[in-house]
Chain A
Amino acid sequence: MSMALFSSPPLHFPSLSPPKPHLTHKPFLPLPLKKPFFISPKSIDDASSSAAVSIEQEKDEGSNGVLLNSNGSSPAVVAGAPVTETEEVRKFQDARWVGGTWDLKKFEKDGKVHWDSVIDAEVRRRKWLEDNPESSSNEDPVLFDTSIIPWWAWMKRFHLPEAERLNGRAAMIGFFMAYFVDSLTDIGLVDQMGNFFCKTLLFVAVAGVLLIRKNEDLETIKKLLEETTFYDKQWQASWKDETSSSSKDS
């Protein structure tokens, strides 16, 4: 939801209607203004649905021809090209893909480059390449480098929606921890700030929120730890063998 807000220009606001069906089963909300407050926890759960929204929107834009060229609006269009053509060329084609890079002029909007659509275009290109690996060629090298997209564009698109969620979690955990510590030990909030134990708790909470974003993350971290030591074990096998065999001998 929040992502859709960032990735789309305000004039498309009316087209946010798709998420509405989610909310219609809450008829007790009379004021549309209040909606954001009530649905904010829900929108966290619905990260995937909001993504779907933003993609759908892009498609709308493409077909409207507002931002995108009809040629490269979606992978479906490319795949839908005549068979003979795909067989002959088998190369990624897009009107904005010129000389091995995205022609930033074609992404300009109100005199500024619309970086979000550059990211979208590159995502489509990579997706296409993954499905149809392309022969590399020296005559027609790929020059596009993702680092030309400024950091704030990445931040705005990928980090901010996530940051909101993390902030919310950290604040909630912090609040309840302070509450419980206070109720259990009678140390007030101000005193907690100077307490070493409470500082450690704070640190653990922040690290935990950052590392464990989904339930699967726990499993992933465990697997990573195993993976890092696996090779060591394989190498040390011959030394373990020595200690066991020598103890048997002696």
Chain B
Amino acid sequence: MASIALKTFIGLRQSSPENNSIKISKSLPTNHTHRRLRINASKSSPRVTGRNLRVAVIGGGPAGGAAAETLAKGGIETFLIERKMDNCKPCGGAIPLCMVGEFDLPLDIIDRKVTKMKMISPSNVAVDIGQTLKPHEYIGMVRREVLDAYLRDRAAEAGASVLNGLFLRMDMPKAPNSPYVLHYTSYDSKTNGAGEKCTLEVDAVIGADGANSRVAKSINAGDYEYAIAFQERIRISDDKMKYYENLAEMYVGDDVSPDFYGWVFPKCDHVAVGTGTVTHKADIKKFQLATRLRADSKITGGKIIRVEAHPIPEHPRPRRLQDRVALVGDAAGYVTKCSGEGIYFAAKSGRMCAEAIVEGSENGKRMVDESDLRKYLEKWDKTYWPTYKVLDILQKVFYRSNPAREAFVEMCADEYVQKMTFDSYLYKKVAPGNPIEDLKLAVNTIGSLVRANALRREMDKLSV
């Protein structure tokens, strides 16, 4: 099933990098073909006179940064509003290899190149994954404050105005095509502390303001189920740090998290130890303690330098756009299940949304409307829905119970699985698998599941 679903996925992926280069340099031909294919709303929508289209991007994370850059490059007057320019969001900070290429990231913002992963099962069976990686392949670990600042700076370079401000609310337009009025508190240089109330008129809004999105609230986007992620940054001695030089650890088990995993990720000069859960949020401290205990022999003697917690969306919001307001990144809810990955998808969705606006407005010359933004949503769902669905299935099958997790770890010991996992993670596309290997894998996995569950039943009998 996965291979069928992912075939469409590959086709789309290949086309997307071409598209954005075309769009920026010579957008007219593509627009023509589009116009012939379907009703293009921008044809009917009025021209913007005397100025270019104005778009505000709320939130300066990877999604906001990427969106603002693409908008500004596409000839749109862009405003990026962010309150905390040095915000270090609690975040694993792992980015796939393809993001480095697609977003042209310089290598010096990557703190660590992780080439080895260890998965540790509830009964402490440890499996090394990553032997199948080629020499140039790695998972990049970044600090969010560095990555976010870099993307914002690039947006500013491209011509976006970056405003230090706190977005408060926005007034919806009364008449069609009239502007949105954003209210925000500006903290620009003049005053320390006390901000200044400002308003800003824009034609469209991209909400990239994360899980507690105010933009989402103002368009009644509805809520999503969220997981809480808890993370402690621990500074450990140099000889212990050596072990984590290019290695990340994943712990699974009911003690660590009933529906997610616990992790130890290497950071620039410390490790991040954390865990997450949706179903038992009240017990998060207990799970964190258990994660620390499971990693105890490797981090013992470490000093906790920072404790963080953050909500992680589980699924997209019921409404991701309304009229000329669109949500991207965490605000929309684009975090995968199973791995909990969100940076790449945030940046990608920001860019995709911005592309849709640039295209729909013919480089800022025309007004946009909902149908233009719908194109972003359509493309997004078509491109990434299979990825999300596969990860959802994986999570449901393998994070279900301890025996399932044992089977998961057993499965990950297989080299074929590792190759497939890393290929799909690093490049966000899946090479069609070998059917014989697939079959072998299926049989082995079912075998592992059956064995582990048989043991589980005996364990239950013991406790009765």
Contact = CB atoms under 8 A, between A and B. Distances in A.
Interface of A: 48, 51-52, 55, 75, 119-120, 122-127, 129-130, 133-139, 141-142, 144-147, 149, 154, 157-158, 227-228, 231-232, 234-235, 237-239, 241-242
A246 to B, nearest CB: 9
B250 to A, nearest CB: 11
A52 B464 CA distance: 9
B288 to A, nearest CB: 13
Given A127-B463, A133-B255, A242-B374, 14 more contacts: A126-B123, A126-B456, A129-B124, A137-B298, A138-B297, A144-B125, A145-B410, A146-B410, A154-B451, A154-B454, A234-B318, A235-B381, A238-B317, A238-B377
B294 A136 contact: yes
A229 to B, nearest CB: 11
Contacts of A235: 315-316, 381, 385, 388
A158 B315 contact: no
A85 B320 CA distance: 57
Interface in B286-331: 290, 293-298, 315-321
A222 to B, nearest CB: 15
A75 B315 contact: no
Given A142-B124, A145-B410, A154-B451, A136 B297 contact: yes
Given A130-B254, A134-B124, A231-B389, A238 B459 contact: no
What 6 pairs across the A-B complex have the smallest Cβ distances?
A135-B296, A234-B315, A237-B318, A133-B255, A123-B458, A137-B297
A129 B316 contact: no
B354 to A, nearest CB: 19
A136 B120 contact: yes
Q: Interface on chain B toward A: helix, strand, loop, or mixed SS?
A: helix
Contacts of A149: 451
Contacts of B381: 235, 239
Given A138-B243, A142-B125, A238 B297 contact: no
B126 A142 contact: yes
Contacts, number: 123
Nearest to A146: B451
A227 B315 CA distance: 14
18 contacts: A51-B461, A127-B459, A129-B123, A133-B122, A133-B293, A134-B294, A136-B295, A138-B297, A138-B298, A146-B410, A228-B393, A234-B318, A235-B315, A235-B388, A237-B319, A238-B318, A238-B377, A239-B381
> Which of A127, A133, A146, A232 has the most C-beta atoms of chain B within 10 angstroms of its own C-beta?
A133
Q: Interface on chain A toward B: helix, strand, loop, or mixed SS?
A: helix
A135 B318 CA distance: 42
Contacts of B450: 154
Nearest to A55: B461
B35 interface: no
Nearest to A233: B315
A147 B296 contact: no
B168 interface: no
A62 to B, nearest CB: 13
Interface string B377-419: 1000100010011001100100000100010001000000000
A119 B458 contact: yes
A133 B448 contact: no
B454 A158 contact: yes
B126 A147 contact: no
Contact of A145 (B122, B125, B374, B377): B125
A154 B458 CA distance: 12
Nearest to B332: A238
A126 B297 contact: no
Nearest to B290: A133
A241 B318 contact: yes
A147 B451 contact: yes
Contacts of A51: 461
> Which of A124, A154, A238 has the most C-beta atoms of chain B within 10 angstroms of its own C-beta?
A238
B22 interface: no
A175 B464 CA distance: 37
Contact of B124 (A120, A136, A231, A242): A136
Contact of B253 (A133, A145, A157, A228): A133
